[in-house]
Amino acid sequence: MAVGTYALTTLANLKSALGISGSSEDAVLESMVDRATALIESACDRKLKSRTHREWCMPAGERTLTIDHPPISNINTVSYGRQTCMTITSDTASSDVLATVGFDGSEVRLYKVNSAGSASTATVATASYPTSTTIVNYINASVAGWSATLSRNAYANSMYRFGGRGVTDAPCNVDFPRDNVSQYEVEFDIGLIHITSDRFPGIRSDGAHLNTFPSGFYPVFVEYVGGYSTVPSDLEQACIEIATDIYNDRGNDKNMASEGLGDYNYSRQAAEQLIGMRANLLAAYTEIR
């Protein structure tokens, strides 16, 4: 076992703070680091260590996008618009009691209940099949009772998300954001993307509402690398302190708030208190925008 990929400190740094040199408690300490990291990210409402994120954004004032996990280090795409990339059909639609297609952003889910009431589910993960072409080929070759038709090869991770969509009466069209924004400016530290020009919706004779985003519910897709490649010192210190408190609190009666014996007093602290005590260290990361 090791600390999580996105942990805010290392096992070695926590052991140094605790004055532990042996390895007998490494597994416990690694768990403390991961728990402290989770508490901090929950309190800050963002992922803090650098990784790839994919988000659907609602433009503010039509031209500014606010991403969820700043700072931004790279942007892979900003795209919008709508075009069908593939169509999925149940080959047994005439006898299916229920047949639906869904996409949650990471996998296509094919679900059906046959005439005898037996349910079956097949999933196609975008991690293994990253384009609409590879998804269509896999369904046609490997998923019994389903077929797919390609309309346009597209980046699968950017396909519009939707829940179980019925296909007993009509096939399911899966759409993707067709247009890539090519001109925009980025405030990397605070995670704002300002669109300066785009190709939608085309020139109107009256000149009204040119170069604005289409209306819709979260219509703009952004894939970017966000978070810190090097964890800031104050953020790591907060993680070490919280992990230390969790470690020192292990084995105590979780139902006991406090106890006293002569001059000795002990008080347990809830998770929100652990965060509250480090408010000065976390303020910059919870109030970034």
Predicted TM-score (pTM) of the model is: 0.84
Q: What is the mean pLDDT of the chain?
A: 87
Name the percent of the chain lying above pLDDT 70. 84
Q: Are residues 115 and 192 in the same domain?
A: no
Q: Is the pLDDT of residue 263 over 60?
A: no
pLDDT tens profile 159-195: 999 999 999 999 999 999 988 888 899 999 999 999 8
Average pLDDT for residues 57-63, to the nearest whole number?
Answer: 76
User: In this model, does residue 59 exceed pLDDT 50?
Assistant: yes
131-137: list long-range contacts, CB under 8 Å, 24+ apart. Answer: 131/155, 131/156, 132/85, 132/86, 132/156, 132/159, 132/174, 132/176, 135/86, 135/108, 136/86
Q: Are 29 and 94 in a shared domain?
A: no
3 found inside a domain:
no
Residue range of the domain that includes 218: 56-77+183-226
- Give the separation between CA 23 and CA 62, rounded to whole angstroms: 55
Q: What is the pLDDT of residue 259?
A: 46
Whether the pLDDT of residue 55 is over 70: the answer is: yes
Query: Which of 83-97, 135-149, 272-286 shows the lowest per-residue confidence on average (mean pLDDT)?
Result: 272-286
- Alpha-carbon distance of 212 to 19, in angstroms, equals 58
Q: What pLDDT is recorded for position 46?
A: 95
Shared-domain flag, residues 163 and 244: no
CB 33, CB 3: distance < 8 Å = yes
Q: Is residue 6 part of a domain?
A: no
Residue 5 lies in a domain: no
Please list, in sequence order, all residues whose beta carbon lies within 8 angstroms of the beta carbon of residue 216, skipping any fewer than 6 positions away. none
- Regarding whether 169 and 118 lie in a shared domain, the answer is yes
Distance CA 222, CA 182 (A): 12
Q: Are residues 98 and 155 in the same domain?
A: yes
